């Protein structure tokens, strides 16, 4: 049963991701990207990681994608950008990425069906509770968490700096 659900969620996420790439309208592409992230959250849940699934929705689908959509709304892309996209997005652009992804797909199918495969899906995976995630994150992986937070702090300071320059220029303009 869980294997079926896994394949359904996998199919949805793959199809949605394909549609993200091929849509000409930016807001439609974003909606498919959100669907793809939701499907990945379902996969996380099935593999016994409810905490990762919840965070996938809260952070990726619920916050980061909202910001993407925010930018799309700010730019207010209309008919003209769709035409432009159509002009840029030619069939011959497909060839190289197509070949490369087919190789990867074949490799993955081989890994799934190969008898000695260790990458097969096990529906007997044990569920990991939020507490265990926390203990692992702040135990053996503490340095990674700290490095990630330093990276975020750096980007925060950088963004603030860029904004400040803009604000100062504006203030001088007014004065």
Partner 1 sequence: MQSEFIMILPVLLGAMLGAAALVWWERRLLAFWQDRLGPNRLGPFGSLQIIADVVKLLTKDDWVPPFADRVVFTLAPLAIVAGMLMGFAVVPYGPGLHIIDLNVGLLFFLAMTSLAVYGVLLSGLASNNKYALLGGLRSAAQMVTYEVFMGLSLMGIVIQTGSFNLNDIVQAQEDMWFVVPQIVGFVIFLIAGIAETHRLPFDLPEAEHELTAGFHTEYSGMKFGLIMVGEYLAVILTSAIIVTLFFGGWLGPDFLPPIVWFSLKTAFFICFFILLRAALPRPRYDQLMSLGWKILLPLTLLNILITGAVLLAMEG
Residue from 8, 31, 82, 121 touching partner 1 (CB under 8 A): that is: 31
Which residues, at least 6 apart from 41, have a Cβ–Cβ distance to it below 8 Å?
53, 54, 56, 57, 61
Site stretch for partner 1 (CB under 8 A), options 25-33, 85-93, 135-143, 161-169 = 25-33
Name the token pair of 21.
């790439």
DSSP structural state of residue 94: G
Please state, in angstroms and rounded to a whole number, the distance separating the CA atoms of residues 122 and 2.
9
For 171, the token pair is: 């203030």
Q: Are 43 and 6 in contact (CB under 8 A)?
A: yes
Pick the piece of the chain touching partner 1 (CB under 8 A) from 73-81, 104-112, 151-159, 166-174.
73-81
- Residue 34 binds to partner 1 (criterion: CB under 8 A): yes
* Residue 63 touches partner 1, criterion: CB under 8 A: yes
Q: How many residues bind partner 1 (CB under 8 A)?
A: 26
Q: How many CA atoms lie within 13 A of 5 on its CB side?
A: 12
Q: Any residues with CB less than 8 A from the CB of 47 and at least 6 apart, and which?
A: 6, 121, 125
One of 131, 161, 165, 171 touching partner 1 (CB under 8 A): 131
- For position 136 contacting partner 1 by CB under 8 A, the verdict is no
Which is closer to partner 1, CB of 10 or CB of 50? 50
Q: Which two tokens stand for residue 131?
A: 């507490």
Contact range with partner 1 by CB under 8 A, out of 5-13, 14-22, 23-31, 139-147:
23-31
Binding interface with partner 1 (CB under 8 A): 25, 27-28, 31, 34, 50-51, 53-55, 57-58, 61-63, 66-67, 69-70, 72-74, 76, 129-131
């Amino acid at each position: 049963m869980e294997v079926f659900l896994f394949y359904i969620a996998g199919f949805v996420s793959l199809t949605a991701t394909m549609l993200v790439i091929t849509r000409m309208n930016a807001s439609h592409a974003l909606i498919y990207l959100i669907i793809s992230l939701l499907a990945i959250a379902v996969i996380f849940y099935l593999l016994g990681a409810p905490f990762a699934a919840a965070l996938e929705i809260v952070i990726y689908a619920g916050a980061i994608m909202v910001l993407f959509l925010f930018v799309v709304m700010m730019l207010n892309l209309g008919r003209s950008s769709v035409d432009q996209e159509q002009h840029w997005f030619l069939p011959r652009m497909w060839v190289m990425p197509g070949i490369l992804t087919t190789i990867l797909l074949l490799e993955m199918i081989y890994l799934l069906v190969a008898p000695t495969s260790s990458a097969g899906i096990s529906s007997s995976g044990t569920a990991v509770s939020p507490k265990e995630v926390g203990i692992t994150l702040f135990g053996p992986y503490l340095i990674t968490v700290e490095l990630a937070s330093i990276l975020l702090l750096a980007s925060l300071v950088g963004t603030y700096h860029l904004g400040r320059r803009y604000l100062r220029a504006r203030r001088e303009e007014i004065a």
